[in-house]
Amino acid sequence: MALNVSFLQELLSSVAEQGRALLPKSLFGADNGDDIEELAAALLSGRGEASGVAIAREVLDRYARLDDAARLRFFRFLATDMRQDPEAVSNAARAHLEEPTDASLAKLQKALESPRVEFFRRLHLAPGATPEIVAMRRDILRVLPDEASLVPVDQDLRRLFYVWFNRGFLVLRRIDWNTPASILEKIIRYEAVHEIRGWDDLRRRLDPTDRRCFAFFHPSLVDEPLVFVEVALMREIPDAIGQVLEEPHVQAPAKPATTAVFYSISNCQEGLKGITFGNFLLKQVVEELARETPTLRTFVTLSPVPQFGAWLEKAAHKDNHPVAGEAKALLDAIQRVDWPHGEDETEYPAIETAMMALAAHYFLAAKGFDGRPVDPVARFHLGNGARLERINYLADISDKSLREAHGLMVNYYYDPKEIERNHEDFANEGTVAASRAVRALLKLNPKVRALAAEPPQQALPPPAREKAGT
């Protein structure tokens, strides 16, 4: 319901007329950081209990009009003036240490809850406040790298959002050509994997009978997808993105689809960074598709390999890297024959062999500081319990893919029988589930093979660093 303006104004102005001390003088004056701080304080006071909705709305409206500098001042105000009372915390901590009871624990918990948590909850009194508070965290995240003092503010919001956006509140909706244009243009904008080039391109991804798109929505973020996934229903596991994006779709396919290919998954809300949705989305979409299209047997991705190029470059320039020589040789060959655009293709087979072996090494042997693969997409799917099914050579020859991944794409396979075991082995020991065929690629290169002989788990104990170098 829209706020009744006259009622509200009467509410605020009648208070103002009475010239009460609590009121910031500038309630209806110019917008500056001071005003919003006074209002924020008022929201936490008894006034906030009586007139919370009106004050919360006013805080949000003012925040929207602040410039970057004023916003930063406001964030610092939240970080310092609205933090926990250090003395109260110390006292409560000491009291609990002296007499550790349920009651002293509860008091300690209370002392530890910062006033700004209650502030954010009261901000939420204003109708429609949810997206504005999410946007506030987006603004904080943007300055966070240079403002360590804001970390606790960000943490408070993150914890709040973790509860507000609990899985139980998310609603799965199909996105198709009957979806309102105001949502569809967000799909175009938020697509992060394979750029959507306008409305015709969008239609090709949504409208054919063998294409699906699903998104999670939250009831209080109207028309704002949180995360969405694009799916192609096919008869085989594709080994190149062209098969998904460019192949003509037969209107009524002769044979029913057997394979659901998840070829793009994109998070939409910068302000919800660190709140996990993607894995829940994938699992619910698998269920939805299995219900809707009972002929589906295989659930698989066609995924990018965004860090392969950077890793290869680094390996080639690091003398003691176990595959330094191979990496260097491959990069030299690529440059020498202008792969994959060159006219002389005689060296291409060797390049393919080397690249596949090094890619296998990248996934199975190279590890980040935490003992897990360096590739973020791999970490996501392996962490969900998928296995690395296939590495596809020259699967995406867009400039971006050639630059980032030398054209490689991979399939991750979601097998209900394996998901839980794969997830746990990966979580506990860093084990990468991979198909026989992927493992076999390691053998293409003797040195890599030798490397693979030493089980990666063994070398894992945290905090692990670039294990591949050992």
Site for a copy of itself in 310-349 (CB under 8 A): none
Q: Please enumerate in sequence order all residues whose Cβ is within 8 A of that of 98, keeping only pairs 6 or more positions apart, or say none.
A: 104
Looking at 31, 34, 38, 53, which residue binds a copy of itself (CB under 8 A)? 53
Looking at 109, 295, 335, 470, which residue binds a copy of itself (CB under 8 A)? 109
Question: Closest Cα partner for 308 from 398, 407, 392, 390?
Answer: 407
* CA 333-343-340 angle, 5° bins: 50
Question: Closest Cα partner for 378 from 324, 311, 445?
Answer: 311
Binding status of residue 256 toward a copy of itself by CB under 8 A: no
Question: Closest Cα partner for 222 from 190, 180, 163?
Answer: 180
218 token code pair: 């939250």
* CA 198-199-204 angle, 5° bins: 105
Number of residues located near a copy of itself, criterion CB under 8 A: 90
Closer by beta carbon to a copy of itself, 294 or else 349 = 294
Answer for the pair 437, 397: CB distance below 8 angstroms, yes or no.
no
Question: Rounded distance, CA 436 to CA 388, Å?
Answer: 10
Binding status of residue 124 toward a copy of itself by CB under 8 A: yes
Site for a copy of itself in 185-244 (CB under 8 A): 198-199, 203, 219-220, 223
Binding status of residue 379 toward a copy of itself by CB under 8 A: no
Site for a copy of itself in 283-302 (CB under 8 A): 283-284, 286-288, 290-291
* CA 170-173-176 angle, 5° bins: 155
Closer by beta carbon to a copy of itself, 133 or else 409 = 133
Answer for the pair 64, 71: CB distance below 8 angstroms, yes or no.
no
Site for a copy of itself in 416-435 (CB under 8 A): 416-417, 419-424, 427-428
Closer by beta carbon to a copy of itself, 108 or else 356 = 108
Query: Least CB distance from residue 108 to a copy of itself, whole Å?
Result: 6
According to DSSP, the residues that pair with 391 across neighbouring strands are 410
Binding status of residue 460 toward a copy of itself by CB under 8 A: no
Closer by beta carbon to a copy of itself, 230 or else 326 = 230
Stretch that binds a copy of itself, among 47-55, 252-260, 347-355, 389-397 (CB under 8 A): 47-55
- SS3 at position 265: strand
Site for a copy of itself in 132-151 (CB under 8 A): 149, 151
Binding status of residue 463 toward a copy of itself by CB under 8 A: no
Binding status of residue 181 toward a copy of itself by CB under 8 A: yes
Looking at 80, 182, 295, 470, which residue binds a copy of itself (CB under 8 A)? 182
Query: Terminus-to-terminus CA distance in the chain, angstroms?
Result: 63
Stretch that binds a copy of itself, among 165-173, 249-257, 452-460, 462-470 (CB under 8 A): 165-173
Question: Rounded distance, CA 68 to CA 126, Å?
Answer: 23
